[in-house]
Amino acid sequence: MDRRTMLKAALLAAAGVATGAGAAPPPEMKVYKSPACGCCTGWVAHMREHGFKVTVEDVGNTAARSLLGIPAKLGSCHTAEVGGYAIEGHVPAADVLRLLAERPRARGLAVPGMPIGSPGMEDGNQRDAYDVLLVKLDGTTSVFKAYPAKRSA
């Protein structure tokens, strides 16, 4: 088993998702997005590839973002609900799994905007620097995970 597969299995196990026979059901996620958004579809595929059972509501995400308590300034093109948390924007699956494993008292995670190289926004080997923010119950944020910029040679 390669390192990436081992890490994925460890994260899934920490989130309470078994990977073998008799496995627990995958984390269920509901995503609110625009029906015309291709990058949202890419992010949904990324989440499914990492073990999430995703249902999609093609109704836009402004109302969901507001209802889940994510400030508009942290907005992106899609909003999801999973395990009692809000996930705003192009948050990598590994960070969602970590959130579910650690269970902090928070509203959820957000990646404001649409950074190149984040899941669903892939562009070859390019990646903008971006932060996954932990959105606290009072709406303030802290950095949950920082992703540095990466450029092709």
Could you tell me the two tokens for 116?
Answer: 């190149």
Q: What is the model's pLDDT at position 151?
A: 83
DSSP 144: E
Please tell me the pTM assigned to this model.
Answer: 0.84
Nearest to 110 by CA among 148, 84, 136: 136
Predicted confidence pLDDT, tens digits, the chain (153 residues): 444 443 445 444 444 444 444 556 779 999 999 988 999 999 999 999 999 999 999 999 999 999 999 999 999 999 999 999 999 999 999 999 999 999 999 999 999 999 999 999 999 889 999 999 999 999 999 999 999 998 876
Could you tell me the two tokens for 134?
Answer: 């932990």
Q: What is the model's pLDDT at position 25?
A: 74
For 141, other C-beta atoms within 10 Å of its C-beta total 20
